[in-house]
Structure 1
Amino acid sequence: MVQQGDQWLASAYVDPEVFTLRPDYRALLILADGLAPGPSDDVTEKMLRAAEEAAPADHPHVVAWREAFRAFGAKPQRTRPSVDALLRRAPQGLPRVDRLTDAYNAVSVLHAVPIGGEDVDRYRGPLRLVRATGEEPFDTMADGQVTTERPSPGEVVWRDDEGVTCRRWNWRQCVRTRLGPTTTRAVFILDALEPMTEAGLATAGATLVDALRATSPEVRIETRTLQRKT
């Protein structure tokens, strides 16, 4: 169990080395408490269909994310930014996972912004974005079994005290902290680079909050933006 919501949000940070790589990076953190998890339903189906219909063929923000991946050695053609992967699936149909994941995937496509959602109560210590040493554990699935991998040295990763929670900035989330059928408290991370503006990021965040409230009317929201200090 992590700290109370406001304390946990206050402890989150981005390592200066990440801002050296991309000074324009911002992360909008949305902490949602009182969520109602469950399978995909009519509400999230409507969200996903609207996103599929409105999905852009390409977007400058997605191009910026491909450039960011290349800057730390990733190959975006092989390990795509999360929003890039979703947009490519939109013409054939977005995945239907569960009501919480469906909600943030729909907003990700609508606003062309990478979004991740994770179970806060499975975190150990503060959330932070760092450049990996290559020694950190990352729990993932391979051939139907949980296995441990290691990030590449210099890779940009989200992590906590126990290990990596998301590899390559927003490429793949770990097994341990992913949303599940018992998740009632989650953090949603919206990743922004130029040319996404402050207003654009705020609008995407507000759309996500509305989507969460549509599926979980009793949800309580706290937010914080992480960005380079000037």
Structure 2
Amino acid sequence: MSIQFYYAVGIHQRFPQLQARALFAEGINANAVPSTIINGLMAVANHRLSVFGESEFPEIQAWRRAFSTMGLKPTQYRCASEALLRRYRKEGSLPKLHPLIDLCNSLSLAYAIPVAVFDLDRIEGNLCVCFAHGDEAYESFSGEIENPEQGEVIFADDARRAHARRWTNRQSGWSAVQKQTERVLIVAEALHDDAGDDVAALMFSLVEALRLTWPEVKLRKGSVA
């Protein structure tokens, strides 16, 4: 797991309130059943949603402000956690995709914080959150190739492939977790006032859940400088 994950200097300059944690995990498989852990996290999300709508959560409001700063309409382009919460509130459930994705989605619901998961075997070199040049290649889940807008915040690797567009809005189908995925990078990011404590708590819960679900998993914290 020699890949490095980092932020371009300009990201921290424009969003000094950003708090992020990254975790590398090796030894993941699609055979685990972390349902007990997921049910507990869903209960937290249910309680929060019973008190306020997701748009009132400080975590979501902070991302909406950031999207507005980036020139994006927040109700058109939502951060991943808001999109999940909104879908969950309307439908009462989320589709089961892969035990790791289901686990990370439930963490995102409980903490209202975007959690991205990338298949490391689909990333060339290092991965950076940066402002797009506009010529990077992004593959959607339907297989279509897009180019991000110049200046758009993306996750880009050394091969100039974009693994996420509009920062926390939409990941790429290219590096999405599949049945055969064994090595992943997991990133949690927040911008609200208590982001540091909340992202740390989310990552602590994630590490515990990974070790319970995949006892042989190898973990390494990633630098987010």
Q: Same fold (TM over 0.5)?
A: yes
Match of 1:154 in 2: 151
Matches within 5 A, 1:112-123: 112-123=112-123
Match of 1:109 in 2: 109
* 1:22 matches 2:22: no
Query: Whole-Å Cα distance in 1 between the matches of residues 101 and 156 of structure 2?
Result: 20
Q: CA deviation at 1:49?
A: 3.9
Which shifted more, 51-60 or 87-96? 51-60
| 3-state SS of 2:205 partner | helix
Amino acid at match of 1:117: V
Q: Alpha-carbon deviations, 1:25-63, whole Å to 9, x = none?
A: 132101111112248664465256435423442311110
Match of 1:35 in 2: 28
CA contact (8 A) 1:212 1:219 kept: yes
Change (3 A) 1:186 1:47: farther
Give unpaired runs (5+ residues) of structure 2.
none
Q: Alpha-carbon deviations, 1:192-222, whole Å to 9, x = none?
A: 2131342221111011112222321211111
Match of 2:128 in 1: 128
Matches within 5 A, 1:1-230: 5=1, 7-8=2-3, 11-38=4-31, 42-43=35-36, 46-47=39-40, 49-56=42-49, 57=53, 58-91=56-89, 92=91, 93-142=93-142, 146-162=143-159, 163-227=161-225
How many residue pairs get aligned? The number is 217
Q: Which stretches of structure 1, 4 residues or more, deviate above 6 A after TM superposition? A: none
Give unpaired runs (5+ residues) of structure 1.
none
Which shifted more, 177-186 or 73-82? 73-82
The two structures have a TM-score, normalised by structure 2, of 0.88
CA contact (8 A) 1:31 1:221 kept: yes
The two structures have a TM-score, normalised by structure 1, of 0.87
Amino acid at match of 1:25: L
Change (3 A) 1:55 1:182: farther
CA contact (8 A) 1:117 1:178 kept: yes
Q: Alpha-carbon deviations, 1:11-32, whole Å to 9, x = none?
A: 3221112122201113210111
Q: Alpha-carbon deviations, 1:98-142, whole Å to 9, x = none?
A: 211000000111111110111111110101000011111100134
| 3-state SS of 1:116 partner | strand
Which shifted more, 34-43 or 11-20? 34-43
CA RMSD, Structure 1 to Structure 2 (Å): 1.9
Amino acid at match of 1:109: L
CA contact (8 A) 2:132 2:149 kept: yes
Query: Whole-Å Cα distance in 2 between the matches of residues 205 and 35 of structure 1?
Result: 17
Query: Whole-Å Cα distance in 1 between the matches of residues 112 and 38 of structure 2?
Result: 19
